[in-house]
Amino acid sequence: MKKYKLIGPISQLISMEKATLKGAIKDEELSVLHNAGILIKEENIHSIGMYSEIKKKALLLDAEIIELRANYVCTPGFIDAHTHICYSGSRARDYAMRNAGQSYLEIAEAGGGIWDTVTKTRKSTLQELTYGILKRANILLKNGVTTIEVKSGYGLSVSEELKMLRAIQNANQNLEADLISTCLAAHMLPKDFDGNHQSYLEKISNTLFPILKEENLTNRVDAFIEKSAFLPSDIYPYFKKAKAMGFDITVHADQFSTGGSEVAVKMNAISADHLEASTEDEIELLGNSDVVSVALPGASIGLGCDFTPARKLLDTGGILAIASDWNPGSAPMGDLLTQACILGTFQKLSNAEVLAGITYRASAALNLKDRGRLATGMLADFNLFRTTHFNEIFYHQGKLTPSQVWKRGDIVYSDHN
């Protein structure tokens, strides 16, 4: 196999090279390259430019020339910065009950909610969980998602959380997409734990955290801050320990009530995710911080709740990423592009802001510097859509899917069109 590959000509290449990290972006500010070519060296981008120019360089380097014979728009590979795709079982009953007007409590009393998924996930073997992740991650990959964050959080004991994180690690070794794992042992107080919130978190940080480091299972720690889960006062000492051990922090914040985003800002978290309940105060706080706000429209659609105030967060100067939150309870759809486009219509986001939210700004939510933009030295992760203008991608609200997905310099999906 040759070391270099040239792909082109590409009708419009949206590199995101000049997109700012913070605040609003107008579509006119997107850097669009016409009749472009991408020269790949192994798994990275060697250079990008006018096809006619870059072809000369490619010939000198004896590159494999992959000539495109139709119109394509190229975007960076999408990044889904928040999912829970390691799970077993369905919560279709919760969904039906919720839509029939039953309360959270009634659903929990009928055996639904997070604990239902915990019970089923605990019954699954490591292999079964690995298979479930592979199946879902491959659906995302076909839709152009080349990097996928995956949380634990349905194990809720040292051994069961380890099983989940090892399944994520196994799946990552057998997938073309990259998985970024996160420990969400602080998802809820497990019903079978003999102790209170603080003693559970102490057990996790004292026993699980060192194993996560030893086995290199994750460098990220998440917590669900909510009255039904953990209070800020429970989480401060937990996060302090995690940070002292070198973990990056991320928070499920302000989903139903406020409090989480303040913890995120005070603890210098990488991201604060959800934010459907954030008010002007929280928007101000997040907008003036370096914490990435992650909107999860899939959860709003799944639960029938308000969307994250994405427009206001951007207008306040915030960093907005958009993720699917794919999980069996609140966000069963698992379609990042569709959800991001829908958030765009309800929150009046420009196409540039939607695209930044699932590429460059999503890479910031995962603290990854090597992806999210198409530029020299970055990973050669990109999508080719069979169309002439990038507006078409958003206009079709996720129904125009990539014809080709490239990951680390190789084509990993093609619809042969």
- In the complex, least distance from residue 296 CB atom to ligand NIG, rounded to whole angstroms: 6
The least CB distance from residue 71 to ligand NIG, in Å, is 38
CB of 369 to ligand NIG, least distance (A): 26
**Residue 143 binds: one of Fe ion, ligand NIG, none (C-beta under 5 to 8 A by kind):** none
Among 226, 248, 325, 353, binds Fe ion (CB under 5 A): 325
Among 230-238, 279-287, 321-329, 381-389, the segment contacting ligand NIG (CB under 6 A)? 321-329
CB of 91 to ligand NIG, least distance (A): 7
Which listed range, 23-31, 304-312, 317-325, 345-353, lies at the site for Fe ion (CB under 5 A)?
317-325
Output 63 or 275, the one with its CB closest to Fe ion. 275
**Residue ranges in 76-105 that form contacts with ligand NIG under rule CB under 6 A:** 84
CA distance 331 to 84: 9
CA dist., res. 79 & res. 197, Å (int) = 33
Binding residues among 188-217 for ligand NIG as defined by CB under 6 A? none
> Cα separation of 56 and 63, whole Å?
10
Shortest distance in whole angstroms from residue 303 CB to ligand NIG: 8
Question: What number of other Cβ atoms are within 10 A of residue 360's Cβ?
Answer: 23
**Contacts of ligand NIG in 263-282 (CB under 6 A):** none
80 is a contact residue toward Fe ion (CB under 5 A) = no
* 330 contact, one of ligand NIG, Fe ion, none, CB 5-8 Å limit per kind: ligand NIG
Instruction: Decide: is 329 part of the binding site for ligand NIG (CB under 6 A).
Output: yes
36 makes contact, choosing from Fe ion, ligand NIG, none, with CB < 5 to 8 Å by partner type, with none
d(CA 408, CA 28): 29
* Cβ(379)–Cβ(40) below 8 Å: no
CB of 102 to ligand NIG, least distance (A): 15
152 binds, among Fe ion, ligand NIG, none (CB under 5 to 8 A by kind): none
Q: By CB under 5 A, how many residues form the interface with Fe ion?
A: 1
Count other Cβ atoms within 10 Å, centred on residue 417: 9
Whichever of 11 and 88 has its CB closer to Fe ion, that residue is: 88
Binder of residue 121, out of ligand NIG, Fe ion, none (CB less than 5 to 8 A by kind): none
Give the Å distances, CA to CA, from 269 to 79, 266, 289, 319, 327.
Answer: 19, 8, 10, 13, 22
Q: Is residue 330 within the footprint of ligand NIG (CB under 6 A)? A: yes
The residue whose Cβ lies closest to Fe ion is: 325
Q: How far is the CB of 354 from ligand NIG (least distance, A)?
A: 20
Q: Rounded to the nearest whole angstrom, what is the least distance from the CB of residue 226 to ligand NIG in the complex? A: 7
Q: Does 222 bind ligand NIG (CB under 6 A)?
A: no
Which is closer to Fe ion, CB of 293 or CB of 404? 293
Give residue 233's Cα distance to chain centre.
Answer: 27
Name, in order, each residue with C-beta under 8 angstroms of 46's C-beta and a sequence gap of 6 or more: 4, 39, 40, 61, 376
Per rule CB under 6 A, is residue 299 in the interface with ligand NIG? yes
Residue closer to ligand NIG, measured from CB, 276 or 381: 276
Least distance between ligand NIG and beta carbon 89 (Å): 10
Q: Which residues bind ligand NIG (CB under 6 A)?
A: 84, 114, 117, 224, 252, 255, 299, 325, 327-331
Give the footprint of Fe ion on this chain (CB under 5 A).
Answer: 325
